[in-house]
Amino acid sequence: MTLYRIMDRNTVIAFFLIALVIFLWPLYMEYVSPPQPSDQTPAPVTTEPGPPPATTSEQPASKPVAITEQHSTPVSPASGGELLADEARNINININHDLYQARISNRGGGSLLSFQLKNYQKYDSSLVELIYPGNQANLLLAFTSAISGQKIVLDNRWSYQGSRREYSVGAEPVKITFTTSYNNQPLTKTLVFHPGTYQIDVLTNLAGVSNHISQGSYTLGWNGGLPGTEKNTKDDYNYFKGYVYQGDDLHTPRAKSELKLERFIGQTRWAAFRTKYFITSLIPETPASAAEIGGYVENGEKTKRNIYSFGLFLDSQHPNSTTLYLGPLEYKRVKGLGVSLERVMNFGWSFIRPIAKGVLFLLTKMHKTIPNYGVVLIIFAILVKIIVYPLTKKSFQSTKEMQAVQPLVAELKEKHKSNPQKLNQETMNLYKEHGVNPLGGCLPLLLQMPLLFALFQVFRSTIELRGAHFIWWIKDLSSPDTIFYLPFTIPIYGDQVSVLPIIMGVSMFLQQKMMPTQASGQQKYMSYFMTGFFMLLFNNFPSGLNLYYTLFNILTIVQQKYLTPAQKQPVVSTKSKPKAARGR
């Protein structure tokens, strides 16, 4: 196939390249978040002496770990006999915060029984709840006895140092303190709730029993991950991952068929577990000496999800302060923690990340003035069209210039039909003579692809657009604008019917019809196929991306019709050209 025939369908090629990259998207996700290689992971917990995990490793893989009745050795009170009054019964304390409503228990010294986010709702309009039965045994302390070698999990009922059962976090932090004892020595744990943030300080002091703790370190753990919150559970579960951050290395161990905690030795800045839009993380004030983490695959009715547990190893000889961040995976908030927790967020390849972060920054800034994200996207599309106007203008001009020299190309094709090499050489000379760039029509489209992928990342996985309503049926710009569901599933398309992909397909069809050079034969059918393929593919994409892309296509149609300069008059024949012109 000669070069000029390839250049005639540069638009189709551009669409094909986009489709190709989208098809390779799963491989790309594997590349940016590869499973931890077995030969590079630190040794498992079982091979290293020292403190145990926050829960016993004998817990069946089919259930979350850290259930009270399954720890090996409960801690006795100071008297070694009867429990104190507060320890003998469950005590629940309610915390009313401007961002959440929490309920904590004296079990485990302040384990969270409920944590509802006031600013985020589920698809059924109920508040997002980040605590479920599988992770209620959270924030537990554990260590190995230096004398008996037994695993001690401090998940009995602690004594609550207070009388109130209701607190409101206003201008000042609220402190809730619990105490227990081991071998007649006091142990304390305090939760500090700060106003205006999802950060909760966990202050622990086991210095009084440090000589009873093997290797001088104990664990503060989070067990059972987080619950799913999205209607599309399969998409939500794809983001379920656990992390350990040491130095500048982000470890992401792979979930296995059964829970096996792995230990990462070295200064640990934080450990975390994330879902699509939410995260729980333990961040010690002083880097921990090590961390342990493990996940198992839980089989659901329709799909699988990864459930992770993790813990930090803290120095038992001194009091420790650890920050629990439990809340939305909001870029500005997690970056503001100053510990690189935002690294769990996926903004794409390295050359796309700055674009994606810039797009997110602009959208959130604009949203402070314009309360509707749909309107923000419309204005953003117009601004992008203005920015890329010189590129698209050059693309249209190049296409028209290509059309102008087609009669000359046809003559060359007839003249050198038996010599393809000579034909390519003469064709390139012709393009050079008339100042035509054969890549001019395709290159501007390819230059815009990084922006398209950046938008895809932002619309698909950032919580800022979660639940953002536009108008009428478009109720969530982070999800497809589905109007009804089919009783069956179509490959690629899915089982839902969305409106914006159909409008986008119509705009693509009209855009092709307005091209100066109309496709014919196989090229024509190929262009129709790609339009239909994109309608199917984009049916599962976020409505925010479809809204942007549809509007961008409409603006491009307007540009083609009203803002494109008139094309040059073609030279009808090489024989009619002046000799001087042919000799240049």
What is the pTM for the complete model shown? Answer: 0.78
Q: Is 106 exposed, middle or buried (0-12, 13-18, 19+ CB in 10 A)?
A: buried
Q: Taking the domains of the chain in order of start, what are their residue ranges? A: 8-26+356-406+437-562, 34-345
The DSSP code sequence of 487-499 is EEEETTTEEEEES
3-state helix, strand, coil in the chain (%, to 5): 35, 25, 35
Report residue 49 as tokens: 């002496």
Q: SS3 for 393?
A: helix
Tracing tokens 């593919």 back to the chain, one arrives at: 537
Q: Quick one: pLDDT at residue 274?
A: 97
* In contact, 178 and 189? CB cutoff 8 Å: yes
Neighbouring C-alpha atoms within 13 Å toward the C-beta of 191: 29
Q: Quick one: pLDDT at residue 65?
A: 32
Report residue 341 as tokens: 């927790």
Q: Quick one: pLDDT at residue 210?
A: 93
The DSSP code sequence of 396-410 is HHHHHHHHHTHHHHH
Q: Quick one: pLDDT at residue 526?
A: 78
CATH top class, domain 34-345: mainly beta
Q: Quick one: pLDDT at residue 439?
A: 65
The CA-based angle 255-336-355, given to 5 degrees, is 75
The DSSP code sequence of 74-125 is PPP-TTSSSPPTTTTS--EEEEE-SSEEEEEETBTTTEEEEEEEEEEE-TTS
Q: Can you give 247-304 as a three-state secondary structure string?
A: CCEEECCCCECCCCCEEEEEEEEEEEEECCCEEEEEEECCCEEEEEEEEEEEECCCCE
* In contact, 204 and 118? CB cutoff 8 Å: no
Q: Quick one: pLDDT at residue 49?
A: 33
Q: Quick one: pLDDT at residue 69?
A: 28
* Run means of pLDDT, 10 residues per run, the chain, 584 residues: 38 48 43 37 35 33 30 31 51 96 94 97 93 94 91 90 93 95 92 97 96 94 95 90 95 91 95 97 97 92 89 96 97 95 89 90 93 92 85 73 78 81 83 73 70 85 88 90 88 87 90 64 73 87 90 86 60 47 44
Q: Quick one: pLDDT at residue 302?
A: 74
The DSSP code sequence of 317-364 is TS-EEEEEEEEE--HHHHHHTSSSGGGGS---STTTHHHHHHHHHHHH
Q: Quick one: pLDDT at residue 581?
A: 44
Neighbouring C-alpha atoms within 13 Å toward the C-beta of 281: 31
Q: Quick one: pLDDT at residue 444?
A: 61
